[in-house]
Structure 1
């Protein structure tokens, strides 16, 4: 579904904590968007688009 590129780094513990937080928040945001789109579809039987 999504393309990704690996960038191998050796993060400090502080940077690792920040990266883990950012990744978890982006995952939550993606899940919220999918949930919202599904709810709109179930209520109106319309698929929302990008624009």
Structure 2
């Protein structure tokens, strides 16, 4: 049974949307991880400096 072109276009659109949402999720996750890493790094260096000052 042949698939109408419109349904096929819609299917490919949804596949692109799925791929895009997955890509965005990965980017957000990486961004959050980087932020957490840098925040933790700056906090530890700050507390380390304070510890050395005392």
The alpha-carbon deviation at position 10 of structure 1 amounts to: 3.9
TM-score by length of 2: 0.62
Q: Name the structure, 1 or 2, with higher relative contact order (CA <8 Å, separation 6+).
A: 1
2:16 pairs with 1:37: no
Which ranges of 4 or more aligned residues in structure 1 deviate by more than 2 Å? none
Greater Cα radius of gyration, structure 1 or 2? 2
Q: Structure 2 stretches of 5 or more lacking a match?
A: 38-54
Q: Could you say what the CA RMSD is over the residues aligned between the two structures, in angstroms?
A: 1.5
Greater percentage in helix: 2
TM-score (norm 1): 0.65
After superposition, the C-alpha distances for 1:2-45 in whole angstroms (9 at most, x for unaligned) are xxxxxxx7421011010010000110000000000000001103
